Structure formats: structure tokens, C-alpha cells
Amino acid sequence: MTESELEQLRAEVETEIYYCKKNGMTYSKIDAYLSKMFSGRTPKGTHLRKFTRPILNDINKKIKREQGGELLKQKPPKPEPKKEPAYNTYINTTTAVEPIETRTEPAPQQLYEKGKRIKLLVGMFDQHITGVDRTPISRPAQVVYKWCAEHQPDELVIGGDFGDFMSLSKWEEDYPGHKEGDCFDRAVTFCNYNLDIMQSVTRNKKGKLVYTLGNHEVWVEKYKSKDPHARRGIYDVKILFRLEDRKIEWYPINGSYKVGHARIKHGSNANIQHATKTAGSSCGESVFYGHTHDIQCHSGIREIDLLPFVAQSCGCLCNLNPYFMRNRPNKWVHGFLIMYIRDDGSFTYYVPHIVNNRFIWNGKEYSA
């Protein structure tokens, strides 16, 4: 083993030990963890513990110096009993999750125009899945999944702010629940659970999934740079949600997915007349977006060729009264995007309002 390889290994061991110490692990637990991580990677003839223990002792001494010897004598603090967040009423989202029946009938007949397929696309924006309220699927999202299960879209687009990730935010550090150790992990589990359902409700379970990242996903990336000892690779949405394994096409924040003559993105304008502003800066392209959690539309005609275009916000699927709103009235509404896209790129779209977790489509009620 060369000198530089040895240095590299030592640096990796140090990072892991910092992480273990941060989580209050005991000596024996740290040893067991390190032997799992680095078994077979120590220099020939050196026992793993002989290599890692001096590093562990150095770090202990360093922490002791930094914290006046307090930290090592202390037992890890007992977790406080869970308090209910004061403003976290979750009016619309707290009931138990009903199982989503993903295949009640055969796939509906496909639509054709002049021998060409008409594609069905569904857009879901701003679910803000969080580990705090222990609700894996919001009720409005359940309604959308039920509609999808029956209509089986060819494409399902996640329009950003899919995960809330408030546990990594600098904004809401004082609120109970968000900084619990397992809050982030639980949120990630719930997000993956939702992705599994999404894949199962697309056409023959093989529909295309697209993910345009939102500002809340950016918090994850920011957190990675803030905490140098964070678990390597963990704070990356692409890895957390296994986007590559799931074959999900993704676009970075402010990127957009172009389908037919429409573009779908998370959105960045949040002023009162955001649809007008978005239409004004979209160069005459139709844009469908979330971010504002409300439903707003601005239609127009392109000066150059007199073709129509639209900027449309499509509502959200999250809690309408999260704790940080403190019961303030807002303009948020539950909704989602249904779009039929013809082969020539033209499209017909609908943005159903979901009120009290119900909406009616073609004479049938969908509810959760």
C-alpha cells in the first residue's frame, strides 16, 4: 500500500469515526461498524483494530480538548418524548392510508388520431412528503393515484418539491419533530414508497416517470456542503430515490421537461400574478408548473405565428395548513395536471381541483 493510499484510507476512517461519534455510538459499536466498512482494506499484516484504534483515540482526544472533556463522559441523552407540533394540524392529511388498488381493470383503450397514438400524461406537483407527520401518502395524492390506476397514464411527471426535507432546512430549526434523528430517513422511505406506487399506476406498469427537481430538493444538496462529515453520498436526491435504477428521467432545478408543445417544470415565480410573469418570460411556449401551490392561468397568442400558448400553475398535493403557516389563510389548493398530447405536439389539458379530497371526472367521483 502506497503512502498516498494509506493517507486516503486514514481520511476515510476519520470521516466515519466523526459520523459515529456524532451519533453517540460506543467504542464497541464503532469498532463493529468500522470492521464492516473497512475489512480487508488495511495494510498487509495490520489488524484492522490496530489501524483504527489510534485514529479513534486521536479524535477522542481532539473532541475532549475542544469540549473540555465533557463529551466523552456524558452518556448519550435520552430521547425526549414526542411532542405534537403546535401548528401541525394536517387537516386534510392525517387519516390512515387506504391501499391503492393499482389494477382494478385492464388498461383502457388507447386513443389514436390518424393512426398515431395520443399520449396521456399526469403531472403531480408539490407533495412535500415529510417524515414528521408519519403519513406516507397525502390524501389528495391518494386521489390522484386512484385516478391514475384507472386511466393508466403513459407518463407521470413529478413537478418538484416531492420531498419536503424540512429536517435539513435552516428555516425551521425550532419546531419539534423536524430534527429527530429518524425524521429524514422516514421521509426518504415515504418518498420511495410513493415512487413505487407511481410506477405501478402507469400504463402496464411500464410508463415513463419524469422528475423535475424543486427548491426543496436543493436543500438536500445544500446540506451536503454544510456538513463535511455527513454520510458520503447520502445527501443526493438521485441516490436517495434511486432515480437511475428506476429509470426516472430527471431535470435539475429550473430545468423543464418538454413534451409536445408543452414544458413542465417546478416553477420559480411566486409573485401574485405569477402566471402572467411566467407567460411573459416563456418565449411563447406553454409552461405548466407548481411551486406556488395555487391554480392560476395566463393565456396568450404568439406575435410571430399567432399560435396560442398558456402558463398554468397546477396546485399542490401537500398539507394546506403546515405548521409554518400558523393557520394563516393562503391561496393554496389541491390539484394536478391531466394532459392528452397528440402526435403533432398539440395538447388538451385539465387541472381538476381536489376539494376535501374529492373530485369528479367524467361522471365518477374519486376520493380518499
Chain residues binding Fe ion by CB under 5 A are 126, 161
Nearest approach in angstroms of CB 293 to Fe ion is 6
Q: Confirm if 13 and 36 have CB atoms less than 8 A apart.
A: no
Which CB atom, from 126 or from 150, has the smaller least distance to Fe ion? 126
Cα separations in angstroms, 133 against 78, 82, 91, 234, 319: 22, 11, 12, 22, 10
Which CB atom, from 154 or from 161, has the smaller least distance to Fe ion? 161
Residue spans of alpha helices (H) in the chain: 3-22, 27-38, 48-66, 70-73, 139-151, 183-200, 215-226, 237-240, 274-280
Nearest approach in angstroms of CB 74 to Fe ion is 39
d(CA 272, CA 290): 14
Neighbours of 290 (CB within 10 A): 31
What three-state secondary structure class fits 155?
A: strand
Nearest approach in angstroms of CB 47 to Fe ion is 52
Q: Confirm if 343 and 116 have CB atoms less than 8 A apart.
A: yes
Cell of 152: 393508466
Which CB atom, from 102 or from 269, has the smaller least distance to Fe ion? 269
d(CA 332, CA 319): 9
Nearest approach in angstroms of CB 126 to Fe ion is 4
d(CA 95, CA 13): 44
Which CB atom, from 150 or from 161, has the smaller least distance to Fe ion? 161
Nearest approach in angstroms of CB 120 to Fe ion is 25
What three-state secondary structure class fits 120?
A: strand
Which CB atom, from 169 or from 346, has the smaller least distance to Fe ion? 169
Which CB atom, from 316 or from 341, has the smaller least distance to Fe ion? 316
Which CB atom, from 156 or from 318, has the smaller least distance to Fe ion? 318
What three-state secondary structure class fits 179?
A: coil
